A and B are shown apart, each in its own frame.
Chain A
């Protein structure tokens, strides 16, 4: 059965591809669906067209031939059908070979392999050669990833429930996705939040249950000049003012702070110390809020000298533990 159907699909494709103009339904039926009843022909022809289109075959409709009143005709333009000519040098082909190893996501890994097979078919000899690059791996374990991937391709809006922070509070969202961005190992979608009438960035791991596409494909436009990567970065890692800080750190401790320090110096003879131990002075630049967290985690190993506001924050937060 499958072989007969393959044959019919191939012959339909070839027929539409080699004809100069549009081919009428009547002619298609006469040549390929001769033994079918009217109903069976309609059903089979519709399904066959759909299957070819789903493979990416661009079947065009049109061309009202005066000889066949009201009869739509069909054709496949060879230029629209075929992969544009592509020639790759040996090193470029090696890069393509590495691309097949990047995705750790079943559907996209297979799609990459399929793309490479088409390039191979076009005459490219893909070879894996050593190149001076690390090979990143892209995994996408978030269950909603596929839905957002399809949505940005089709420009279809998505509805989903979203956790605003670690807690169980969930809000319902209606978003027109502009793009998907991977940032520091996590996936985000950038888009227009219809209910809030503003652009927003959502972390896919916080999407609860199933995200669903709503409405028709192509139902919105991505605004001109949108840079989803810049929006994600500005939201997720805003530029924060760095402030100088001076800390005393116990000898042999505070490695994470030492690594960031601009300068480490010993205390002068007879200088006042927080307690009797061995201490060193660190000078560093940091956004103050992050620094307080890190200093607190070091307990009795770090003492804040400056700025006064940071010292006050640390003292107050310690006093808050009761």
Chain B
């Protein structure tokens, strides 16, 4: 699971500019005010800053205060306790009551935390849990004074079930315990039971897979999470040699696996295919259809897809695949012969 970094920018906890330092100080002062003296290492951990940076920040704070410039006007920081080898390394700040409350949440902060809470609300499995999230959400919405943007993240029932299953699989990974899966294989239209040693949940193009050693296949396998119909966490520990989950950076197909490139012509009704499966070389045709190439590892899967799209997808090449589709359609049609 990689974290997308669509707009990575260093936050106040790590950045070195004056603005970020001010942001840190505006959080640090109320933090200390609410707690009295706090040990340097503890404060660094709570605020996500290094101890070194924290001491630097405190040295600057020492120079700030009320206008006038008299010693009594300045914020008092017990720097000796922090830098003196004999010091007890406890941060004590005085004379800063006017900064006793943290700065209110920015609009982006309000949006980020409130939308995250709305998502958690959708994940509540019991009424009690939902009630706790609602209370927290209510208080946060009040504190943010309606600054959060209108972003809605309703969780559909199937998504909740999915999230619950994923949590269970991940527990299997962390606790190194075996799982029993009931898995649906669409190409074979069959549901099978298997015991697996989970290695990790990995994702490729937005689809998540459990990478696991499968005891039925006696080999590592990828299981699409949305095709796992049921999962049980077993008491038995994993027995296969531990291995990190595989990287799907190069795609789902193992190197060297035989792939067939199939050229399809899709009428508008069948165009959704290009949003669900990786297709290449799309050409718009004069008649409004779209010609695309699809990489296929399993011809049974392709046959089912093309039948589902019938007759809005046709096979341009190779000829064997076109023949196979025609045969499959004729065979299905023969079931209705006695109707005629």
Q: Spell out A's residues near B (CB within 8 Å).
A: 2-3, 5-7, 9-11, 13-15, 17-18, 31-32, 51-52, 54-57, 78, 80-89, 91-96, 98-100, 102-123, 131-136, 138-141, 143, 145-146, 149, 152-153, 165-169, 178-185, 205, 222, 228-229, 232-233, 252-256, 272, 274-275, 293-294, 296-301, 303, 311, 315, 317-322
Contacts and interface: CB of A to CB of B under 8 A. Distances in A.
Nearest to B112: A111
B297 interface: no
Contacts of A114: 11-13, 23, 106, 109
Given A55-B23, A299-B332, A106 B6 contact: yes
B308 interface: yes
B152 A14 contact: no
Contact of B116 (A99, A132, A298): A99
A188 to B, nearest CB: 10
A121 B132 contact: no
Q: Which of B8, B115, B145, B152 has the most CB of A within 10 A?
A: B152
- Among A86, A185, A318, the one with the most B-chain Cβ atoms within 10 Å of its Cβ is A318
B153 A138 contact: yes
Interface stretch (B135-143, B172-180, B214-222, B243-251): B135-143
Interface string B162-173: 011011000000
Contacts of A303: 335-336
A149 B282 contact: no
A121 B120 contact: no
Interface SS of chain B: helix, strand, loop or mixed?
A: helix
B139 A51 contact: no
A11 B30 contact: no
B7 A112 contact: no
B333 A318 contact: yes
Contacts of A138: 115-116, 119, 153
Select the residue from B117, B310, B311 with max chain A CB neighbours within 10 A.
B310
A141 B206 contact: yes
Interface residues of B, number: 127
Contacts of A143: 6
A152 B151 contact: yes
B129 to A, nearest CB: 4
A254 B191 CA distance: 10
Contact of A179 (B5, B56, B132, B151): B151
A1 to B, nearest CB: 8
A13 B22 contact: yes
A92 B131 CA distance: 10
Contact of A9 (B4, B18, B31): B18
A255 B308 contact: no
A15 B145 contact: no
28 contacts: A5-B18, A6-B22, A9-B18, A9-B22, A14-B64, A52-B22, A81-B103, A82-B104, A92-B136, A100-B116, A102-B119, A103-B112, A111-B106, A117-B46, A119-B102, A134-B123, A140-B6, A166-B266, A167-B284, A178-B150, A233-B154, A256-B184, A274-B335, A274-B336, A275-B335, A311-B339, A319-B311, A321-B311
B271 A14 contact: no
Chain A interface helix/strand/loop/mixed: helix
Contacts of A82: 101-104
B133 to A, nearest CB: 5
Given A95-B132, A166-B274, A17 B98 contact: yes
Nearest to B46: A120
A2 B1 CA distance: 37
B128 interface: yes
B16 interface: yes
B219 to A, nearest CB: 24
Nearest to B272: A166
B268 interface: yes
Contact of B163 (A116, A134, A180, A252): A134
Contacts of B132: 91-92, 94-95, 131
Given A140-B4, A169-B284, A293-B308, A112 B109 contact: yes
A85 B140 CA distance: 10
Contacts of A2: 16-18, 21
A140 B156 CA distance: 18
Given A133-B123, A253-B189, A121 B113 contact: no
A10 B61 contact: yes
B108 interface: yes
B111 A153 contact: yes
A132 B101 contact: no
Nearest to B25: A10
Contacts of A141: 4, 6, 206
A128 to B, nearest CB: 13
A14 B316 CA distance: 73
